[in-house]
């Protein structure tokens, strides 16, 4: 008889886990996927182009209903899990339904950060996390509303881009002196900011939010220096935090995220965690690729085979307002490192490579991300690139080892 396996959360990590399990342990588990949102799993990465009107809702769906059915997966949507009983090995859903599990996977994702700014409960102050947020934000943008986005990281840039494309008058506020400070150096960030401004989005750096003003609804954002920026809608997009409430209430070990070992197991041998809610070796990853790597390891382990997750190399590859941005590894040259840089200010292109001991350890690409996966492969492989150092900024038309330059015989 198949062992009951419950997956709490129905996002990208959960979907990939089911996919991996169907390839490795089909029929071994009776799988149930439970999600609070009342719809099929979808790709959150595509919320920005959905907001911009570049794609439609069916385009963000990860898998059709038939895919889940073909794999024998029971799906319970619009029913959040309210409690875990570890002793009885059951989960309780809102409404009182109890379901038994042999193994339990928490893929509960994360929650948007919303600091307690004065006026934060006014209508018109929102976060950017799901399709319901997109529908509300599009309604504002479609009538040309004045919109302030707080946060110049990945989430804030995506929100600002989508809202501007949808018709909003967008001002982007960021607390520090450069955009995407966790992924870009000062020069790359400055080029990105210039490109975004050229597309009609106002960018204010070093802008500290004090609170929101308004009576029946938000009317503006007050900065720490007393300036008030008029706003019909404010979108707080300063990041996310792991959604660990369910695990914490059940007594599972939690730091920032649910603490897991190299096999994605928690301190309860029957409970696992993957994705944005999981903390591995002190790191919590808020990106898709690490979640997919974790799903692969966990599926292998659940199939009865050894597997070890050793952490992920962080990389970012996106397009903001039509501007390509890629960052991986070390984007600042620390002690013992050197840089190779290509600048084309007129063309809006910046390519920086950080090297240590003849090996590529990081890169930043702004304006032209061609070759991004090639560079990521070089960073991961740690192979010596001394022989191609001079050609490095120009992309992939050369090879290492047995491969050859494009157009030359092997």
Q: How many helices (H) and strands (E) does the chain have?
A: 10, 25
Going along the chain from its start, the domains and CATH numbers come out as 3-111+240-302 (3.50.50.60), 125-236 (3.50.50.60), 330-394 (no CATH)
Q: Please report the DSSP string for 183-245 in residue order.
A: T--HHHHHHHHHHHHTTT-EEEES--EEEEEESSSEEEEEETTS-EEE-SEEEE-S-EEE--H
d(CA 377, CA 179): 26
Per-residue pLDDT of the chain (410 residues; tens, 9 = 90+): 899 999 999 999 999 999 999 999 988 999 999 999 999 999 998 998 999 999 999 999 999 999 999 999 999 999 999 999 999 999 999 989 999 999 999 999 999 999 999 999 999 999 999 999 999 999 999 999 999 999 999 889 999 999 999 999 999 999 999 999 999 999 999 999 999 999 899 999 999 999 999 999 999 999 999 999 999 999 999 999 999 999 999 999 999 999 999 999 999 999 999 999 999 999 999 889 999 999 999 999 999 999 999 999 888 887 766 789 999 999 999 899 999 999 998 889 999 999 999 999 999 999 999 999 999 999 999 999 998 998 899 877 554 444 433 333 32
* pTM assigned to the model: 0.91
Q: Which residue has the tokens 């059915």?
A: 69
User: Could you tell me which residues come within 8 angstroms of residue 96 by beta carbon, excluding any fewer than 6 positions away?
Assistant: none
d(CA 102, CA 84): 13
């Amino acid at each position: 008889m198949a062992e009951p396996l419950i997956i709490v959360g129905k996002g990208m990590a959960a979907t990939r886990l089911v996919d991996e399990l169907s390839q490795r342990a089909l029929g071994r588990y009776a799988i149930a996927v439970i999600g609070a949102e009342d719809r099929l799993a979808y790709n959150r990465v595509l919320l920005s182009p959905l907001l911009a009107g570049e794609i439609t809702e069916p385009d963000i769906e990860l898998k059709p209903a038939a895919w889940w059915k073909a794999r024998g997966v029971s799906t319970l949507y619009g029913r959040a899990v309210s409690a875990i009983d570890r002793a009885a090995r059951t989960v309780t859903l809102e409404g009182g339904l109890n379901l038994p599990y042999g193994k339990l996977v928490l893929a509960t994702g994360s929650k948007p950060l919303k600091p307690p700014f004065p006026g934060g409960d006014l209508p018109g102050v929102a976060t950017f996390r799901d399709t319901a947020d997109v529908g509300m934000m599009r309604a504002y943008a479609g009538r040309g509303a004045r919109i302030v986005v707080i946060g110049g990281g990945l989430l804030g840039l995506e929100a600002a881009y989508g809202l501007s494309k949808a018709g909003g008058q967008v001002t982007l506020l960021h607390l520090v002196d450069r955009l995407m400070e966790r992924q870009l150096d000062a020069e790359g960030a400055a080029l990105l900011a210039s490109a975004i401004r050229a597309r009609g989005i106002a960018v204010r750096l070093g802008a500290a939010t004090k609170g929101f003003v308004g009576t029946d609804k938000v009317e503006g954002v007050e900065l720490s220096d007393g300036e008030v920026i008029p706003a019909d809608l404010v979108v707080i997009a300063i990041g996310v935090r792991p959604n660990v409430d369910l695990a914490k209430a059940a007594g599972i070990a939690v730091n920032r995220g649910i603490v897991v070992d190299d096999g994605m197991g928690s301190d309860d041998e029957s409970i696992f965690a993957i994705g944005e809610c999981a903390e591995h070796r002190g790191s919590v990853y808020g990106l898709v690729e690490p979640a997919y790597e974790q799903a692969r390891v966990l599926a292998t382990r659940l199939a009865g085979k050894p597997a070890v997750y050793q952490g992920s190399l962080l990389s970012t590859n996106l397009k903001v307002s039509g501007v390509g941005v890629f960052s991986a590894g070390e984007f600042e040259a620390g002690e013992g490192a050197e840089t190779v840089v290509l600048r084309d200010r007129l063309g809006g292109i910046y390519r920086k490579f950080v090297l240590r001991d003849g090996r590529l350890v990081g890169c930043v690409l702004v304006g032209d991300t061609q070759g991004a996966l090639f560079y990521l492969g070089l960073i991961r492989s740690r192979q010596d690139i001394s022989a191609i150092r001079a050609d490095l900024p120009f992309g992939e038309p050369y090879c290492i080892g047995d491969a050859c330059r494009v157009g030359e015989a092997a």
